[in-house]
Structure 1
Amino acid sequence: MRAIDLFAGAGGFTTGAVMGGCSVVWAANHWQSAVDAHALNHPGTIHACQDLQQAAWADVPAHDLLLASPCCQGHSRARGKLAGNPQHDASRSTAWAVVSAAEHHRPQIVVIENVVDFAAWSLYPAWRMALEALGYCLAPHIIDAANHGVPQHRERLFIVATRSKHPLMLQFPILDRVPASSFVDFEAGAWQPINKPGRSAATLRRVGAGRTQHGKRFLAPFYGSGSGETGRSLGRPIGAITTRDRWSVIDGDRMRMLSKWECRAAMGFPANYQLPAQHRLAVHILGNAVAPPVARDVILAIKAAA
């Protein structure tokens, strides 16, 4: 099965597609740093750095499967989703590139990944009807990466659009949960004392609450709700990896942020997947990525149902 990857980012969708037996012939993103990272790991794929709302689809190779992860920031609760915010309006509009590409190429299958709130977008009904007008039946699936062997709770919406009479509802085996302890390396990283000058009172309070709840070793996100108040056990999957450093590792009287390599593992990328040298850039593109094992399982389920 030949596939293309729109808004390809770090390459999670492409990596999962390859795991699922596809050949990804073309991938594009508007950000050169993401394209460079993708090309480093998928050198056999044709790459384009461009605004996909201005793409010349005639230049894109023929394909059976269109993969797309339009910009999620305008839909995500974590980013505010402010009505009338021009930046968010522009990010939401990237979803129309999927319709444009599908109209030109009419692949048999289109899979769109986004945050769950994508379906609450005010223009979602019009967007859905546009794909339906092209002959696609849409089947939305809310999938938690933790059910697919990824050591992270990451709920995302996967819309499977097929040129068929009926929507293709997929069935997945639910795998055992993989704990965060599977990727945290206590022998590595830049550790600092927890009680150091300048450490915020809020951080110290959260660490104290985490010790009470989980003991000497645990994870602590820098947010003031949920796990941010209680810490998170290493015996369960981590919460969502985001585009900025979010999770710290607590080990007795020392702490540090997750390394980019630990974030890579938490996303389910292969251990040999190459990342940018700059930590901040690597975390950014990982936080935007599709978890490869989820993409793999979606594609394998599509093949099994076809």
Structure 2
Amino acid sequence: MIGTRTIQALSLGLVLVAIAGFGALALAQEPPLSAINEREKAVNALQGRNRSQLARLLTVLVRFRRDPPPPLLVRPNDAVDAARAAILVKAITPELQRRARIYSGEAQEIARQRRLAAVANEAGFTEDSQAADDEDNGPVATVATITGETSQFELVAPKRLLPPLDGKVLHGFGDDLSAGGKSNGLTLATQARTSVYAPAKGLVQFAGPVKGWGVVVILRLTGGYHLVLAGLEGSSANPGEDVFPGAKIGWMPDGGEGPPQLYLEVRAGETPVNPSPLLKSPSG
């Protein structure tokens, strides 16, 4: 361990951190997120230049439409130049619009990878999470401690899970991820500001923001399984609180970076479990 706040990663990327006797936190590895951040900066720069070019074209078109020169005062050479300019604007505009669509798609992919980077790779966030900052002297539950606690009794799988929201499955359990590795859970695309509900009865072990994940909620289910929901905008759940199936525990972002995506993962100790058979019927 490095210092008192080092987080040891589980074999496939999920770490549960004890916070004030309850806490648990899913964390991700910094290097993949650093690479995603660099890619995001590059795309943002390209988007900015593209927007500037579109803005200049729009200014020219608006000015020409608002205050066109009187036909009788236009010299032949000016008329030719104006025609050439109109042709050039007409030729350039579709290309700039095409770039805008490409950059928008890149931005959505970056947003998706940011939420999945932690689970797609082996590791955990270290001191970047707000939860760790809030507990400067708090104990960190190592992997051995967590698995030791859960191995002292027989884990019982939930019989079923309610869909946490109405959404379309983008990535299923075991799917290949563009960032590398396999998905340990489900990724659901949904509408902006959609409410998120507890899929099962459980104890809230963590509810709060985690860098790269948005707001994360971790439930310890009745049979000892853990359920992780990541990518929320906010949560109304509190650590140490019991929640019941169908209880509202949070809401999704406004969709400024593309359709909001919720990540759902279920674990039996260190082992990720396919949640699809347990769900009643998520739409899509």
TM-score (norm 2): 0.23
More relative contact order, 1 or 2 (CA 8 Å, 6+ apart) = 2
TM-score (norm 1): 0.22
